[in-house]
Chain A
Amino acid sequence: MDFTLSEDQLMFVEAARTVLADTCDTLRLRKMLERKDAFDQDRWDAVVETGLTVVLLPEAAGGLELGALDFALIAEAAGYYLLPEPLVESAGIAAPLLAAVSPASDYLSDPSKRIAIAHPINPVVADADIADAILLHHNGATHLLNPSQVTLTRVDSIDPFRRLFKVDWTPDRATQISDRSELWDQAFDRAALFAAAQGLGLAQRAVDLAVEYAKERQQFGKPIGTYQAVKHHLASAQTKIEFARPVLHAAAAGLANNDIFSRARISQAKLACLEAADYASRASLQVHGAMGYSYEVDVHLILKRALGLTYSWGEPALHCARVSERIFNRPVGPDQTFASEVA
């Protein structure tokens, strides 16, 4: 029984954080919005160069064959830095699905390729316009299309960096690459897990921003961070973060078990991490006061990303129902914390 992260895990996530800190500051993100750019090629190149797109791929497909926990730590950093490019959707959710069907695919052998995924749980597809390929679901089967074979209609999100599209297409025998419907269930679990991880990163970013502001901003002759009313908002937010993190880590460690226990833990992680993100971004907004409500301060970027992630990849009621299923159909109690159906 050991909950600690390995040296390798810590070093790899540190490398991810460094590349994102260097390339993903919000000034650069805002300029990208002003220019209406869909995509920052230099940043994506840096992300690819660091190996972040091949973390989950098997060695046979040129991947690092690391685990869900390793990628969750990267997704957490992507959340923290508000990464707009589809690292999580492509490398975390779509690529492992494609690898399970055709590990030799050209879309995998080139680590810079972006794969979008049209999962039936979501009404829209993120970043479909900048994808090299799109995985689509039809009656349990998997289809692989390129964007020229589908019709995309943009659906604007409150989060200006979430590029969502309705996809119209016609299933064809020629585009079908697999009929294994369980691949879509597994993709859903990965997606919920990595949405949780991003949520945890967002929550910490919201707290960090507010802490910096509360140290600087003076009222009644001293920094507002000296007042207990301000302190307590942020302490409550940090408490939610501290108790969401081990749930996320346990959910990531159990993902491969693929049973009722692991699914409940993943859903719990999504609920806990995104509740932390929601709570922390609203606390951050309150601590920033009117500045927080302005477009200029970054709080709204965090708040909007958290909102999008809360309701995509299964809304809270769905995840609550998955936890409920585990509670009322399997033993509960202190000896069941690490229960699984894997012998």
Chain B
Amino acid sequence: MELSYTPEHDAFRAEVREWLAQNVPAEPLEHFDATREGFEAHRAWEATLKSGDWGMVTWPKEYGGRGLDLISWLIFEEEYYRAGSPGRVNQNGIFLLGPTLIEFGTHEQKSRFLPPMASGDEIWAQAWSEPQAGSDLAGVRATCVQDGDDYILNGHKIWSSRAVFADWAFGLFRTPGTERHKGLSLIFFPLNAEGVTVNAIPKMNGHVGFAEIFLENVRVPAFNRLGDEGQGWHICMATAGFERGLMLRSPARYQVAAANLAALYQARKDSCDPSIEAEVVKAWMNAEAYALNIYATASRLMSGGKIGPETSTNKIFWSELDIHLHDTALRILGPEAEFTAPPSIEGQPLWIDDYIFALAGPIYAGSNEIQRNIIAERMLGLPR
């Protein structure tokens, strides 16, 4: 146990802080799920990040990263959120598929897919869910049939985040005749391939962040399959581990929100219910607890540990803290809570937008009910 940074980590933080101060756009970009323009503005930002070699600092140098440790990644994220940097439009790629590719991909696959992922040249969507396979993901029906050196893909995917504007998707496909967890493969396909139709599904906030994808005899090379045929479920669970456990939701995101909440409370203290202070304190403590837990996880992984079912507790914790935090902000704002312009206090976010986004937390990346089943069965050993 040594809870202080090395001089190297301090120097790294200073380097990130300085670069972001010079490069983060002064005006916020339009949301990447709102319009094609917003999406492309974020792609351009990814290219800027890559020009500073910040695409994904933990990846090996040969695949477009800097080869740094997980503590450096946490520091990068802390500075990234502190600086109010744009959202990462390629989060499905860099945070989910990327780490999975590094674990399961061949050298050729990593060389082909990781560098353009790190630079934002190829932006990824996830194609897991289907109309009949949501929480019960093993019910996937879309198929993959090998034809020479290719696969022919057919099926209907839905709730694919970012698929409306993205370039590639990674999906789960079934070898015909197989059932449930067996016979699934993880295969990549270009969203502009012949036979792919993408229809936007507007979200609660009006953004076109979701899509349904129809695949009709889509031909892709077998090279696009990650791992062996039939290994898809195992690989997806590893991806879900990164998603729920470590990469998708950085603690810094909530620590910045908690700091903003504390500032909001101080500014509005005299005009709001004094019992709200305890909620502000609770929100801050939750964000800190999440950060400490992630540092502990990073330490464990760095000393040879593996991601396991405990990542399901992370997903529950961040999604619930996020709602509580934003709910507290709305309580402070009172009658202004519903306004779609930020409060007239320097540096304050648009709380209502972030609140609406937080409401999705307990649903995506595996609903919290499924996470609680996983905790009960795989951590506590309760019967299925």
Contacts and interface: CB of A to CB of B under 8 A. Distances in A.
A30 interface: no
A3 B300 contact: yes
Contact of B316 (A239, A247, A320, A328): A239
Interface residues of A, number: 49
Interface string B345-372: 0000000000000000000000001011
Of listed B6, B295, B380, residue having the most chain A CB within 10 A: B380
A250 B262 contact: no
Given A250-B292, A324-B281, A337 B255 contact: yes
A320 B1 CA distance: 26
Contact of B380 (A226, A238, A272, A323): A238
B383 A223 contact: yes
B29 interface: no
A238 B379 contact: yes
Contacts of A207: 380
A254 B1 CA distance: 10
Given A234-B376, A334-B81, 4 more contacts: A235-B372, A328-B262, A335-B78, A335-B79
Contacts of B281: 320, 323-324, 327
Interface string A327-343: 11000111101100000
B285 A1 contact: no
B369 A332 contact: no
A99 interface: no
Of listed A3, A268, A323, A328, residue having the most chain B CB within 10 A: A3
Nearest to A236: B372
B340 interface: no
A225 interface: yes
Interface residues of B, number: 60
B132 interface: no
Contact of A239 (B259, B298, B317, B373): B317
A246 interface: yes
B40 interface: no
Given A4-B300, A337-B288, A243 B81 contact: no
16 contacts: A1-B2, A1-B6, A3-B298, A239-B316, A239-B317, A242-B313, A242-B317, A243-B286, A253-B1, A327-B262, A332-B255, A332-B262, A335-B13, A337-B288, A338-B4, A338-B5
A334 B291 contact: yes
A114 B310 CA distance: 40
A3 B3 contact: yes
A242 B310 contact: yes
A244 interface: yes
Query: What are the 3 tightest A-B residue pairs by CB atom distance, in nearest-first order?
Result: A231-B376, A334-B78, A235-B372
B318 to A, nearest CB: 10
Tell me what chain B mostly uses at the interface: helix, strand, loop, or mixed.
helix
Contact of B377 (A222, A231, A246, A320): A231
Given A246-B296, A320-B278, A334 B375 contact: no
B26 interface: no
A231 B302 CA distance: 32
B256 interface: yes
Interface string B287-305: 0111111011011101100
Nearest to A268: B285
A28 interface: no
Contacts of A225: 376, 382-383
B9 interface: yes
A103 B300 CA distance: 38
A332 B256 CA distance: 8
A228 interface: yes
B344 interface: no
Contact of B376 (A2, A9, A235, A250): A235
B57 to A, nearest CB: 15
A338 B294 CA distance: 13
A327 B284 contact: yes
B320 to A, nearest CB: 9
B223 to A, nearest CB: 39
Interface string B191-235: 000000000000000000000000000000000000000000000
Contacts of B371: 235
A3 B1 contact: yes
Interface string B1-23: 11111100100010000000000
B251 interface: yes
A249 interface: yes
A190 B298 CA distance: 28
A180 interface: no
A222 to B, nearest CB: 8
Contacts of A4: 1, 299-300, 303
Contacts of A320: 278, 281
